[in-house]
């Protein structure tokens, strides 16, 4: 029992540097694993980037379509405003016609009055002839 070891996993280096080689091999394995994970991450990031590019193109197309629809809606709004003005003008004119018709009806002779006037005119014409 010449040497006490503080840990069971530690290896003592031999005269040719075997300990250093084992430690280096462990670091190499870890680095290779990290590089592999970065590669996988890069591939995933590339896929996400490609998908995002496709979605951006689709979004651009939809934006163009929405812009066209906005222009059409603006034109329809102008037309609707014109029709609203025309409708208001028609309503004013219609009210005027209704008022005039009411006046005419108020001053209109009934059928009975007309028949009475017709009979009276006929008598006057008959009396004038004689």
pLDDT in tens, 33-65: 999 999 999 999 999 999 999 999 999 999 999
Averaged pLDDT score across all residues of the chain: 86
Q: Domain-by-domain residue ranges, the chain? A: 18-125
- Percent of the chain scoring above 70 in pLDDT: 85
pTM to 2 decimals? 0.49
Residue 8: what pLDDT? 47
| Token pair in block for residue 21 | 């080689």
| Token pair in block for residue 96 | 């005027």
Non-local CB neighbours of 69 within 8 Å, separated by 6+ positions: none
Measured distance CA(115)–CA(122) in Å, rounded: 10
| Token pair in block for residue 44 | 């995933």
Measured distance CA(128)–CA(123) in Å, rounded: 8
Mean pLDDT within 81-90: 97
Residue 21: what pLDDT? 74
């Amino acid at each position: 029992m010449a040497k006490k070891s503080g840990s069971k996993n530690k290896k003592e280096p031999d005269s040719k540097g075997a300990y250093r080689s084992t430690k280096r091999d462990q670091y190499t394995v870890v680095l290779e694993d990290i590089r592999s994970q970065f590669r996988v991450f890069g591939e995933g990031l590339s896929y996400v980037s490609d998908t995002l590019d496709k979605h951006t193109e689709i979004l651009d197309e939809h934006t163009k379509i929405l812009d066209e629809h906005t222009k059409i809606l603006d034109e329809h709004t102008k037309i609707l405003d014109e029709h609203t003005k025309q409708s208001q003008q028609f309503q004013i004119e219609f009210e005027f016609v209704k008022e005039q018709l009411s006046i005419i009806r108020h001053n209109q002779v009934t059928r009975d009055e007309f028949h009475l006037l017709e009979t009276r005119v006929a008598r006057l014409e008959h009396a004038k002839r004689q």
